[in-house]
Amino acid sequence: MSKRAIATLTAALLLGLSAIRLADLWWWRTQTLAAAEDRAANLSSILSEYMRETFAAGDTSLRQLVLHSRRVGGPTAPAASWTPTLVSARAGLTSIGSITVTDASGVIRHSTQPRIVGQSRRDEYVFKLRSAQPIDDLIASTPYAARWRCGCAASKATAPSI
């Protein structure tokens, strides 16, 4: 057999093996993408259900807080009337940072973050929007910058709220 024939046969063999490997890689790629799509669909379904349950629990807890507010006399009721209820509601809502109760002027009267009691939310967009509506809704807002009351230079910390 001549050198040319051997080189041609070798090239054909390498080309054939490369084609088989390329087909194999394409098949594995297709299988991997299909499996990833299935996992993404499952994750999406799980996340959707988790979010639905989280918002349903939050809505239920906040509706209970509205009923409690009416029973104790609203945001101006003493802390002793609010604190146990807020702590209990917060314990049941593990995915939130804090729960605050504001009066009609936007001053925080009660909170699961005691360091923000007395501060105002009057200028916040969410408070302005919410105070203009006469209905009870679940409001999830951005974290609230709290001013520490330590008698030292004013520092800031973030206290997430709902």
Name the residue with higher pLDDT: 141 or 148.
141
Name the residue with higher pLDDT: 127 or 142.
127
Exposure string (b/e) for 73-92, b if CB count within 10 Å is 16 or more?
A: eebebeeeebeebbeebbee
pTM equals 0.55
Tens of pLDDT, residues 43-94: 999 999 988 888 888 788 878 888 888 888 888 888 888 888 888 888 877 7
Tens of pLDDT, residues 1-53: 799 999 999 999 999 999 999 999 999 999 999 999 999 999 999 999 988 88
Q: Where are the domains of the chain?
A: 3-147
Q: Are 5 and 13 in contact (CB under 8 A)?
A: no
- Cα separation, 12 vs 17, in Å, equals 9
**pLDDT value of position 135:** 67
From 153, 162, 64, 44, select the one nearest 111 (Cα to Cα). Answer: 162
